[in-house]
Amino acid sequence: MSPTRRRAAAALTAVLLLPLAACGNDGGDKKPVAAASAGVSASDSAAPKAASLTVLAASSLTDVFKTAGAAYEKAHPGTKVTFSFAGSQELAAQVKQGAPADALVTADTKTMDGVGAETGDPEVIAKNRLVIATGKGNPFKITSLKDLADTKIKVVLAAPEVPVGRYSKEILDKQGVTVKPVSQEPNVRAVLSKVELGEADAGLVYKTDSAKSGDKVAAVEIPDEQNAVASYPAATLKQSKNPEAAAAFVAWLSTPEAQKILQDAGFQQA
Protein backbone atom coordinates (compact mmCIF):
# COMPACT_ATOMS: atom_id res chain seq x y z
CA MET A 1 0.00 0.00 0.00
CA SER A 2 1.35 3.47 -0.93
CA PRO A 3 2.03 6.07 1.76
CA THR A 4 -0.94 8.11 0.54
CA ARG A 5 -3.37 5.17 0.88
CA ARG A 6 -2.00 4.31 4.32
CA ARG A 7 -2.65 7.87 5.52
CA ALA A 8 -6.22 7.79 4.14
CA ALA A 9 -6.98 4.46 5.84
CA ALA A 10 -5.66 5.74 9.18
CA ALA A 11 -7.82 8.86 8.93
CA LEU A 12 -10.94 6.77 8.15
CA THR A 13 -10.27 4.50 11.12
CA ALA A 14 -9.96 7.51 13.44
CA VAL A 15 -13.27 8.88 12.19
CA LEU A 16 -15.05 5.55 12.80
CA LEU A 17 -13.64 5.16 16.32
CA LEU A 18 -14.53 8.68 17.46
CA PRO A 19 -18.29 8.03 18.22
CA LEU A 20 -17.41 4.89 20.18
CA ALA A 21 -14.94 6.81 22.31
CA ALA A 22 -17.54 9.50 22.96
CA CYS A 23 -19.99 6.86 24.20
CA GLY A 24 -17.48 5.50 26.70
CA ASN A 25 -16.03 8.75 28.07
CA ASP A 26 -18.61 9.25 30.86
CA GLY A 27 -18.93 6.23 33.15
CA GLY A 28 -22.07 7.77 34.68
CA ASP A 29 -24.00 7.04 31.48
CA LYS A 30 -23.78 3.31 32.08
CA LYS A 31 -26.22 3.21 35.02
CA PRO A 32 -29.26 4.62 33.19
CA VAL A 33 -28.61 2.18 30.35
CA ALA A 34 -28.54 -0.71 32.82
CA ALA A 35 -31.69 0.53 34.55
CA ALA A 36 -33.47 0.92 31.26
CA SER A 37 -32.50 -2.58 30.19
CA ALA A 38 -34.00 -3.87 33.46
CA GLY A 39 -37.19 -1.89 32.91
CA VAL A 40 -36.66 0.28 36.05
CA SER A 41 -36.52 4.09 36.02
CA ALA A 42 -35.08 6.38 38.67
CA SER A 43 -38.57 7.56 39.56
CA ASP A 44 -39.78 3.95 39.92
CA SER A 45 -37.09 3.08 42.46
CA ALA A 46 -37.96 6.13 44.59
CA ALA A 47 -41.74 5.55 44.53
CA PRO A 48 -43.32 4.35 47.80
CA LYS A 49 -44.40 0.73 47.84
CA ALA A 50 -48.14 0.23 48.23
CA ALA A 51 -49.32 -1.92 51.11
CA SER A 52 -52.68 -3.47 51.83
CA LEU A 53 -53.30 -4.15 55.52
CA THR A 54 -56.03 -6.13 57.24
CA VAL A 55 -56.53 -5.25 60.90
CA LEU A 56 -58.64 -7.40 63.22
CA ALA A 57 -60.19 -5.07 65.81
CA ALA A 58 -62.60 -5.28 68.74
CA SER A 59 -66.21 -4.28 68.03
CA SER A 60 -66.03 -1.27 70.34
CA LEU A 61 -63.41 0.25 68.01
CA THR A 62 -65.69 0.16 64.95
CA ASP A 63 -66.45 3.86 64.62
CA VAL A 64 -63.18 5.36 65.83
CA PHE A 65 -61.03 3.04 63.73
CA LYS A 66 -62.88 4.01 60.58
CA THR A 67 -61.83 7.59 61.30
CA ALA A 68 -58.30 6.54 62.27
CA GLY A 69 -57.93 4.39 59.16
CA ALA A 70 -58.89 7.25 56.87
CA ALA A 71 -56.38 9.53 58.61
CA TYR A 72 -53.64 6.92 58.30
CA GLU A 73 -54.28 6.34 54.59
CA LYS A 74 -54.18 10.08 53.95
CA ALA A 75 -50.82 10.37 55.72
CA HIS A 76 -49.44 7.24 54.01
CA PRO A 77 -50.34 7.34 50.30
CA GLY A 78 -50.35 3.90 48.74
CA THR A 79 -51.40 2.14 51.93
CA LYS A 80 -54.91 0.69 52.26
CA VAL A 81 -56.21 -0.33 55.70
CA THR A 82 -59.16 -2.72 55.91
CA PHE A 83 -60.73 -3.53 59.27
CA SER A 84 -62.54 -6.65 60.40
CA PHE A 85 -64.56 -5.99 63.57
CA ALA A 86 -65.84 -8.64 65.98
CA GLY A 87 -65.74 -9.65 69.60
CA SER A 88 -62.15 -10.03 70.81
CA GLN A 89 -62.64 -13.74 71.48
CA GLU A 90 -63.83 -14.24 67.89
CA LEU A 91 -60.80 -12.39 66.57
CA ALA A 92 -58.47 -14.53 68.67
CA ALA A 93 -60.07 -17.67 67.25
CA GLN A 94 -59.54 -16.34 63.73
CA VAL A 95 -55.87 -15.71 64.46
CA LYS A 96 -55.39 -19.24 65.80
CA GLN A 97 -57.05 -20.60 62.66
CA GLY A 98 -54.58 -18.70 60.48
CA ALA A 99 -56.94 -16.08 59.06
CA PRO A 100 -55.04 -13.75 56.70
CA ALA A 101 -54.45 -10.54 58.62
CA ASP A 102 -51.63 -8.19 59.59
CA ALA A 103 -52.48 -6.76 63.03
CA LEU A 104 -54.77 -7.40 65.99
CA VAL A 105 -56.36 -5.00 68.50
CA THR A 106 -58.39 -6.50 71.35
CA ALA A 107 -60.45 -4.97 74.15
CA ASP A 108 -58.47 -6.69 76.88
CA THR A 109 -54.97 -7.93 77.59
CA LYS A 110 -56.11 -11.45 78.54
CA THR A 111 -57.34 -12.22 75.04
CA MET A 112 -54.20 -10.78 73.49
CA ASP A 113 -52.01 -12.82 75.83
CA GLY A 114 -53.88 -15.93 74.70
CA VAL A 115 -52.52 -15.53 71.16
CA GLY A 116 -49.05 -14.41 72.22
CA ALA A 117 -47.39 -17.11 70.10
CA GLU A 118 -48.93 -15.57 66.97
CA THR A 119 -48.21 -11.87 67.64
CA GLY A 120 -45.41 -9.44 68.14
CA ASP A 121 -45.06 -7.54 71.42
CA PRO A 122 -48.41 -5.84 72.18
CA GLU A 123 -48.75 -2.24 73.29
CA VAL A 124 -51.81 -0.74 74.99
CA ILE A 125 -53.11 2.09 72.79
CA ALA A 126 -56.26 3.14 74.68
CA LYS A 127 -58.45 2.53 77.71
CA ASN A 128 -62.19 2.55 78.34
CA ARG A 129 -64.76 2.23 81.14
CA LEU A 130 -68.22 0.77 81.48
CA VAL A 131 -71.60 2.50 81.88
CA ILE A 132 -75.15 1.26 82.32
CA ALA A 133 -77.04 1.80 79.08
CA THR A 134 -80.79 2.15 79.63
CA GLY A 135 -83.77 2.77 77.40
CA LYS A 136 -84.31 6.30 76.14
CA GLY A 137 -85.11 8.58 79.05
CA ASN A 138 -84.17 5.89 81.59
CA PRO A 139 -87.82 4.87 82.25
CA PHE A 140 -86.90 2.56 85.17
CA LYS A 141 -84.92 5.35 86.86
CA ILE A 142 -81.81 3.21 87.16
CA THR A 143 -79.10 4.97 89.15
CA SER A 144 -76.62 2.25 90.16
CA LEU A 145 -75.45 -1.30 89.56
CA LYS A 146 -77.64 -2.54 92.44
CA ASP A 147 -80.75 -1.53 90.51
CA LEU A 148 -79.91 -4.17 87.90
CA ALA A 149 -80.78 -6.90 90.41
CA ASP A 150 -84.47 -5.95 90.14
CA THR A 151 -86.15 -8.84 88.34
CA LYS A 152 -88.64 -6.43 86.77
CA ILE A 153 -85.80 -4.97 84.72
CA LYS A 154 -84.73 -6.90 81.61
CA VAL A 155 -80.95 -6.78 81.65
CA VAL A 156 -78.74 -7.95 78.79
CA LEU A 157 -75.02 -8.65 79.20
CA ALA A 158 -72.21 -9.81 76.97
CA ALA A 159 -71.20 -13.46 77.31
CA PRO A 160 -68.55 -14.08 80.00
CA GLU A 161 -65.89 -15.06 77.45
CA VAL A 162 -66.25 -11.64 75.80
CA PRO A 163 -64.04 -8.89 77.33
CA VAL A 164 -66.96 -6.57 78.15
CA GLY A 165 -68.84 -9.55 79.59
CA ARG A 166 -65.88 -10.38 81.79
CA TYR A 167 -65.59 -6.77 82.95
CA SER A 168 -69.33 -6.74 83.66
CA LYS A 169 -69.12 -9.85 85.82
CA GLU A 170 -66.13 -8.39 87.64
CA ILE A 171 -67.87 -5.17 88.67
CA LEU A 172 -71.17 -6.85 89.51
CA ASP A 173 -69.43 -9.44 91.69
CA LYS A 174 -67.45 -6.70 93.41
CA GLN A 175 -70.71 -5.01 94.43
CA GLY A 176 -72.39 -8.27 95.36
CA VAL A 177 -75.06 -7.76 92.70
CA THR A 178 -76.71 -10.84 91.17
CA VAL A 179 -78.14 -10.28 87.71
CA LYS A 180 -80.05 -12.83 85.64
CA PRO A 181 -79.66 -11.52 82.07
CA VAL A 182 -82.38 -12.16 79.51
CA SER A 183 -79.60 -12.87 77.01
CA GLN A 184 -75.82 -13.00 76.72
CA GLU A 185 -74.46 -11.43 73.56
CA PRO A 186 -71.29 -12.08 71.50
CA ASN A 187 -70.02 -8.50 71.62
CA VAL A 188 -70.71 -5.07 73.09
CA ARG A 189 -72.46 -3.78 69.96
CA ALA A 190 -75.03 -6.57 70.24
CA VAL A 191 -75.70 -5.61 73.88
CA LEU A 192 -76.19 -1.98 72.93
CA SER A 193 -78.46 -2.90 70.02
CA LYS A 194 -80.78 -4.84 72.33
CA VAL A 195 -81.21 -1.77 74.52
CA GLU A 196 -81.65 0.58 71.55
CA LEU A 197 -84.38 -1.63 70.09
CA GLY A 198 -86.22 -1.91 73.39
CA GLU A 199 -85.58 -5.66 73.62
CA ALA A 200 -83.84 -5.01 76.93
CA ASP A 201 -84.25 -2.31 79.56
CA ALA A 202 -80.57 -2.03 80.45
CA GLY A 203 -77.14 -3.41 79.67
CA LEU A 204 -73.50 -2.90 80.55
CA VAL A 205 -71.50 -1.42 77.68
CA TYR A 206 -68.40 0.66 77.12
CA LYS A 207 -68.75 4.37 77.64
CA THR A 208 -67.66 5.07 74.07
CA ASP A 209 -70.37 2.84 72.59
CA SER A 210 -73.07 4.47 74.66
CA ALA A 211 -71.88 7.93 73.59
CA LYS A 212 -71.97 6.92 69.93
CA SER A 213 -75.57 5.80 70.32
CA GLY A 214 -76.63 9.38 71.01
CA ASP A 215 -80.13 9.86 72.43
CA LYS A 216 -81.22 6.31 71.55
CA VAL A 217 -80.14 5.28 75.06
CA ALA A 218 -79.41 6.95 78.37
CA ALA A 219 -76.06 6.34 80.07
CA VAL A 220 -75.76 5.91 83.83
CA GLU A 221 -72.22 6.53 85.03
CA ILE A 222 -70.55 3.95 87.28
CA PRO A 223 -68.21 5.40 89.93
CA ASP A 224 -64.53 4.72 89.28
CA GLU A 225 -64.15 2.75 92.48
CA GLN A 226 -66.90 0.37 91.30
CA ASN A 227 -65.83 0.29 87.67
CA ALA A 228 -63.32 -1.67 85.61
CA VAL A 229 -60.73 -0.27 83.21
CA ALA A 230 -60.66 -1.88 79.79
CA SER A 231 -57.24 -1.84 78.12
CA TYR A 232 -56.83 -2.13 74.35
CA PRO A 233 -53.53 -3.73 73.27
CA ALA A 234 -52.42 -3.71 69.64
CA ALA A 235 -49.89 -6.05 68.06
CA THR A 236 -48.64 -7.19 64.68
CA LEU A 237 -49.36 -10.74 63.56
CA LYS A 238 -46.46 -13.02 62.72
CA GLN A 239 -48.42 -14.37 59.76
CA SER A 240 -48.56 -10.90 58.16
CA LYS A 241 -47.39 -10.68 54.57
CA ASN A 242 -46.60 -6.99 55.14
CA PRO A 243 -44.73 -7.04 58.48
CA GLU A 244 -43.03 -3.64 58.06
CA ALA A 245 -46.26 -1.89 57.08
CA ALA A 246 -48.15 -3.65 59.88
CA ALA A 247 -45.53 -2.56 62.44
CA ALA A 248 -45.74 1.00 61.16
CA PHE A 249 -49.53 1.08 61.61
CA VAL A 250 -49.40 -0.39 65.12
CA ALA A 251 -46.72 2.14 66.10
CA TRP A 252 -48.82 4.97 64.62
CA LEU A 253 -51.69 4.14 66.98
CA SER A 254 -49.60 5.54 69.85
CA THR A 255 -48.71 8.79 68.08
CA PRO A 256 -50.28 12.12 69.12
CA GLU A 257 -52.39 12.19 65.94
CA ALA A 258 -53.94 8.77 66.59
CA GLN A 259 -54.31 9.39 70.32
CA LYS A 260 -56.28 12.58 69.63
CA ILE A 261 -58.68 10.65 67.39
CA LEU A 262 -59.18 8.03 70.11
CA GLN A 263 -59.66 10.58 72.87
CA ASP A 264 -62.07 12.65 70.79
CA ALA A 265 -64.16 9.47 70.57
CA GLY A 266 -64.17 9.15 74.37
CA PHE A 267 -61.35 6.67 74.88
CA GLN A 268 -58.90 7.33 77.68
CA GLN A 269 -55.20 7.77 77.07
CA ALA A 270 -53.21 4.58 77.40
Residue ranges per domain, the chain? 49-127+230-264, 129-229
- Rounded-to-integer distance, Cα 118 and Cα 98, Å: 9
- Rounded-to-integer distance, Cα 83 and Cα 65, Å: 8
Residue 24 binned pLDDT confidence (cut-offs 50, 70, 90) = very low
Say what the pLDDT of residue 49 is: 64
Q: Which CATH number fits domain 129-229: 2.170.130.10, 3.40.50.300, 3.40.50.970, 3.40.190.10?
A: 3.40.190.10
Judge contact between 152 and 219, C-beta under 8 A: no
What mean pLDDT, rounded, does the chain reach?
86
The CA–CA distances, whole Å, from 19 to 16, 22, 188 equal 7, 5, 77
Per-residue pLDDT of 167-178, as tens digits, reads: 999 999 999 999
H or E segment to which residue 80 belongs? strand 79-86
Say what the pLDDT of residue 5 is: 41
| Domain 49-127+230-264 matches domain 129-229 at the CATH topology level | yes
Q: What is the mean pLDDT of residues 15-29?
A: 40
Left (φ > 0), alpha (ψ -120 to 50) or beta: where does 35 sit? Answer: alpha
Helix (H, G, I), strand (E, B) or coil at 269: coil
Q: Which CATH number fits domain 49-127+230-264: 3.40.50.300, 3.40.190.10, 3.30.210.10, 1.10.3720.10?
A: 3.40.190.10
Per-residue pLDDT of 93-138, as tens digits, reads: 999 999 999 999 999 999 999 999 999 999 999 999 999 999 999 9
Task: Pick 6 or 53 by higher pLDDT.
Answer: 53
Residues 6+ apart with CB under 8 A from 121: 235
Per-residue pLDDT of 206-233, as tens digits, reads: 999 999 888 999 999 999 999 999 999 9
